[in-house]
Structure 1
Amino acid sequence: MADAKTGRLAGKVAVVSGGAGGCGEAASLLFADEGAKVVIVDRQGEAAKKLAEKIVASGGASIGIKADVSNAAEVNAAIDEALNAFDTIDVLFNHAGTIVVKPFLETTEEEWDWLHAVNVKSMFLMCKAVLPTMLKAGKGSIINTSSISAITATPLEVLYCTTKGAVHQFSRALAVEYRDKGIRVNAVCPGFIRTAHGIREVTELSAQGVDASEAAMKAMQGRFCEPEEVAQAALFLASDEASFVNGSHIFVDNTFTAV
């Protein structure tokens, strides 16, 4: 555990949604290691609490909160609990999200509404809950997890691509609106990641005839991205090192979107 006075997030309070697993877990641990007090918000409440306990046992400061971030009441309660514990919020990493892999004509209206709630509405709710505190302080950094799918289309992922396209523009527009208030808003955009989410995506694509083989993965981005590599990009955007990075999309995809 880094010294809380010298880490890259020293003195900051960071909220991580979807923070108990995958890239969110990697970010929670990394942020804590860089001196932040970390609020882990996840619908898997026990996992969030156990991860927070691990951080505390290592000398850090953290709490885990169970919340469905697509639900306004639960989001507001979670942010109230975070503020009661740590008084302020300097960083928000909106990472919670999921995927539907399905032919477009088989996609239901219920799935459309549900994935937009999880992937897009959640960011709207979390930002609305956190921004007043950041505005009061006159500073803050928000990082939203977008995807290569915001700008590159994949068969059977019309719904997912649409939600990530929304996250892309949500991040940019929010940055423009709050730039002169001291708030930075950026998006981190991973390629295929070695997480439960990423492995499930590849498995489901392959099962439905899309080439997501090891050879295809090597051609597209060389290898799977590791969750810690996404967390490192989020750390940079959260830190004061990115003080003039605002309204940007940082692709963590090893040239997937460059070719």
Structure 2
Amino acid sequence: MNPRLEHKTALITGAASGIGGAIAELFAREGAALALLDVDVAAAAALARRLSDAGHHALAVHADVSDAEQVQHATAQALEALGRIDILINGAGINVFRDPLTLSDVDWQRNLGVNLQGAWHCTRALLPSMLEAGYGHVVNIASVHGHKIIPGSFPYPVAKHGLIGLTRALGLEYAARGIRVNSISPGLILTPAAERYFQSCPDPEAERLRQAELLPCKRIGTPEEVAYAALFLASDEARFINATDLLIDGGRSQLYHA
């Protein structure tokens, strides 16, 4: 069986670790040539070297996705190196959870800048070349916070609701021109950010078990499970799926109460 992304190219943001890193690893195994974009360019470069040493084609590019000028420069580098970008994975994101009454303007802007505007900056930068080719798949990494509100998580859900809206609007805008735009909404996933949260608790293992018990499947998801969903949506297997969000949360968002 041929690799599912053979002869395809992809730019992945937030690629240095967590869900973005898992997507990079899987896409490389499935034959894609990769541009790994991250604000931590040293970590992205280390991953690119490891993938290259394993026989894959990968390079690292630096950008803070909230900065449109940096994104334009990074995507130009990726296009020059790879020739074209068939797939864009908007995986860069940050957790911003604050009391609404004490939330600073800086944190408000940073939340929207990375979690919502970042995806738009990257998509806008690559749309012209995708439209010229008449082919392109965009997958945005949203969140269950874009579907359900969890008290104490403001303003993060504002950005993730917006990201799902961006997915639907752009997917419909360019559907007739060969572009698909979809999103994935992970629930609790064992990323470095989740591990940092557990370690911040008085009893990390007890909190880990408590969180797992809230899930119908009684376990926390892994970055690799999100990566396989991204692989499907980014591949031609999903060519009739557009402007759609896929929940990956072990079924928790369907519970009446928890």
TM-score (norm 2): 0.93
Q: Alignment RMSD, CA only?
A: 1.7
Q: How far 1:258 sits from its partner (Å)?
A: 1.6
Q: How far 1:85 sits from its partner (Å)?
A: 0.6
2:6 corresponds to = 10
Q: What whole-Å deviation, never above 9, does each CA across 1:211-236 have from its counterpart, x for those lacking one?
A: 96523432235221101111111000
Tell me if 1:61 matches 2:46. Answer: no
Q: Percent identity?
A: 35
Give, in whole Å, the separation in 1 of the partners of 2:67 and 2:106: 16
Give, in whole Å, the separation in 1 of the partners of 2:208 and 2:30: 36
Q: Tell me which amino acid in the other structure corresponds to 2:126.
A: V
The equivalences for 1:174-193 within 5 A come to: 174-193=170-189
Gap runs ≥5 in structure 1? none
2:230 corresponds to = 234
Q: 1:133 aligns with which of 129, 147, 167?
A: 129
Tell me if 1:155 matches 2:151. Answer: yes
| Maintained 8 Å contact 2:211/2:220 | no
Q: Tell me which amino acid in the other structure corresponds to 1:152.
A: K
Which runs of structure 1 show a deviation greater than 4 angstroms over 4 or more consecutive aligned residues? 201-204
Give, in whole Å, the separation in 2 of the partners of 1:36 and 1:192: 27
TM-score (norm 1): 0.92
1:253 corresponds to = 249
2:161 corresponds to = 165
Secondary structure at the aligned position of 2:173 is classed as helix
Give, in whole Å, the separation in 2 of the partners of 1:102 and 1:72: 26
Gap runs ≥5 in structure 2? none
Q: What whole-Å deviation, never above 9, does each CA across 1:174-226 have from its counterpart, x for those lacking one?
A: 1010100110000011001101122335566x68xxx9652343223522110
Give, in whole Å, the separation in 2 of the partners of 1:216 and 1:9: 35
Q: How far 1:154 sits from its partner (Å)?
A: 1.1
Q: 1:220 aligns with which of 215, 219, 222?
A: 215
Tell me if 1:77 matches 2:73. Answer: yes
Give, in whole Å, the separation in 1 of the partners of 2:161 and 2:231: 22
Q: What whole-Å deviation, never above 9, does each CA across 1:101-124 have from its counterpart, x for those lacking one?
A: 222222112111111001011011
2:18 corresponds to = 22
Q: How far 1:33 sits from its partner (Å)?
A: 0.4
Give, in whole Å, the separation in 1 of the partners of 2:199 and 2:252: 19
| Maintained 8 Å contact 1:139/1:182 | yes
Q: How many matched pairs?
A: 251
Distance 1:37 1:255, change over 3 A: same
The equivalences for 1:45-56 within 5 A come to: 45-56=41-52
